[in-house]
Amino acid sequence: MESPELTFTLAYIVFSLCFVSTPNEFRSAGLTIQNLFSSWLGSEDVGFIQYHVRRTSITVLVHSALPLGYYMGMCIAAPEKNLGYIHQVSDSWRAFLLFSICLQLTSWILVIYWSHRHWHNHPISRALQAHIQPPYYSWGSVATSINDEFRRIDKFATGAPGARVIITDSWVLKVTTYHVYMALQSECHVTVTESRQHQLSPDSASPTQILTLRVDSINPAVRPFDIRLNSTEHAEFREKLHAPIRNSANVVIHQTISELFLEIFRAQVDLNQLYTLPSGQEMEPCIGCMQVPASTKLVRLCHTEGGDNESECQQCFCRPMWCLSCLGRWFASRQDQQRPETWLSSRVPCPTCRAKFCILDICMVH
């Protein structure tokens, strides 16, 4: 029969590893730094930089207390060892206790040092200081810029809390357990350095390709850093990133069926006739993404193209309201996902008025 000492040791090791790496089960149970100290950390949306300065500091304090917590737990799990009486314990346990106390004191000294001058010495503050140049005249103004852009709903964000990737209008951010890496989009370039194929994924039944991208900045004070994301998110990542992206010669990025369809969809629409916008009518933003002007108009043309007067397509009287990318995603989302060979020949309802149309009825606005 296993001893209580061994049982507690194994259980504490598993708990510590899970508490540090925070798998989905621990996040669902609320056993994370962010949840346990939410009242002190505040809101990430209100002050992104201030939130992570506090989060990384409390993370260092809590993680450094894990060895001391093990010793205190052993005092209860193995009372016969008399670990509560320091003068009676063995030299190995006394050395472990000394190490645990020193580690905890060192972390407190480090956090107190970071907090001086309104957290001026914190690693995140030092990373902000590397970007002090016009139009930013202090690390506080850099922090304000990141905070403002993080609050916008059009940012790209992916990844687990301990390895998040965030792309805003001007910044590339990587949030880790103990630090936040950052680079200005205007000063950096991104290189796809590696891809790994995972046959098993908790989020998908199909194999998953994970890409590793290296972010390098022309600013010598900014350290290069790596980010990882799913290949299915690469297209959205590329749309938000204004910095150039380079691919290593040996890296092949696998496209999803939807991405392949969008390429063929655009090519087919380019072959259709153009729609001339009536004089006096202005182009409005696409109501799907609100990022680019609407560029498509649905005009019933398939009956003339195929000579079939019994076509199921209907005339759409909506003004141009959608860009080609959003309309293509709508078209793909209405298809039978198990029969991609039928997508191009199928008909879907207009996202606004529900009039049926096919790919031949989509005209680019001229």
- pLDDT at position 255 is 64
d(CA 357, CA 351): 10
β strands within 123-249, DSSP E: 156-158, 163-167, 171-176, 180-184, 188-198, 208-217, 225-230, 245-247
| Inter-residue long-range contacts of 289-292, CB under 8 Å, 24+ positions, other chains counted | 289/323, 289/325, 289/326, 290/154, 291/154, 291/323, 292/323, 292/325
pLDDT tens, N- to C-terminus, the chain (366 residues):
357 788 888 999 999 998 888 888 888 888 889 888 988 888 888 899 999 999 999 999 999 999 999 888 888 877 777 777 777 778 888 898 899 999 999 999 999 999 988 888 999 999 999 988 888 888 889 999 999 999 988 899 988 777 899 999 999 999 999 999 999 998 899 998 887 876 655 555 556 778 889 999 999 999 999 998 887 788 888 888 888 888 876 776 666 677 778 888 889 999 998 988 888 788 888 988 888 889 999 998 876 544 445 568 888 888 899 999 899 888 988 888 778 778 888 889 998 888 899 998 999 988
Among residues 115, 140, 163, the one where a domain terminates is 115
Evaluate whether residue 256 is within a structural domain.
Answer: no
Flag whether 327 is in a domain: yes
* Position 88 in a domain: yes
Q: Both 29 and 50 in a single domain?
A: yes
Q: Are 183 and 171 in contact (CB under 8 A)?
A: yes
Question: pTM of this prediction?
Answer: 0.72
In a domain, 11, yes or no: yes
**Which pLDDT value is given to residue 102?**
95
Residue 241 maps to a domain: yes
Domain assignment of residue 257, yes or no: no
Closest CA to 318 of 365, 256, 271, 279: 365
- Both 32 and 148 in one domain: the answer is no
The total number of structural domains that make up the chain: 3
One domain, residues 301 and 228: no
Same domain, 210 and 108: no
Same domain, 141 and 224: yes
Is residue 22 situated within a structural domain?
A: yes
Q: Are residues 141 and 198 in the same domain?
A: yes
Same domain for 320 and 226: no
- Same domain flag for 137 and 41: no
Residues 127 and 102 in one domain: no
* Structural domain includes residue 255: no
> Does 234 lie in the same domain as 269?
no
Residues 130 and 94 in one domain: no
Distance CA 356, CA 312 (A): 7
Same domain, 184 and 280: no
Which of 189, 215, 247 corresponds to the end of one domain? 247
Residues of the domain holding 320: 262-364
Helix locations, the chain, DSSP H = 4-21, 24-29, 33-36, 38-41, 48-64, 66-77, 91-119, 123-129, 139-150, 234-240, 257-271, 302-306, 324-333
Domain end marker among 218, 247, 276: 247
Instruction: Say which CATH number the domain at 214 has.
Output: 2.30.29
